[in-house]
Amino acid sequence: MINNTLARDLLGKDKPIGVIEHWMNYDFKWRDDLGTYICNGHPFFFTSMLTGQSALDKGSYERLIWHIKFVKEKLAIGNN
């Protein structure tokens, strides 16, 4: 889960095409069946802060928890 705008930028999620500066240059692909991005076979959740003044509201936080569990089940992560 990425809940920091700078981290999102450094990972390369929203980098301008053709510009290579400080980005790590990861290649995120959207998966409609999961409703999130995948990079190198791993799901990524881009969200706002989890605590503090600009944190997610309670409903959005609960929805995020549900979404993470949903993706884990679909990808069979941690179901060994």
Higher pLDDT pick, 67 / 18: 67
Tell me the per-residue pLDDT of 36-79, one tens digit each, with 9 for 90 and over: 999 888 999 988 777 777 678 888 889 999 999 999 999 988 76
pLDDT tops 70 at residue 18: no
pLDDT for residue 73:
94
Full-model pTM: 0.72
Amino acid sitting at position 35: G
Helix (H, G, I), strand (E, B) or coil at 2: strand
For 13-77, what is the HEC assignment? CCCCCCCCCCCCCCCCEEECCCCEEEECCEEECECCCCCCCCCCCHHHHHHHHHHHHHHHHHCCC
Domain boundaries, the chain: 5-74
Query: What's the rounded Cα separation, in Å, for the pair 26 and 36?
Result: 15
* pLDDT given at position 61: 87
pLDDT given at position 51: 75
Spatial distance between the Cα atoms of 25 and 49, rounded to a whole number of angstroms: 23
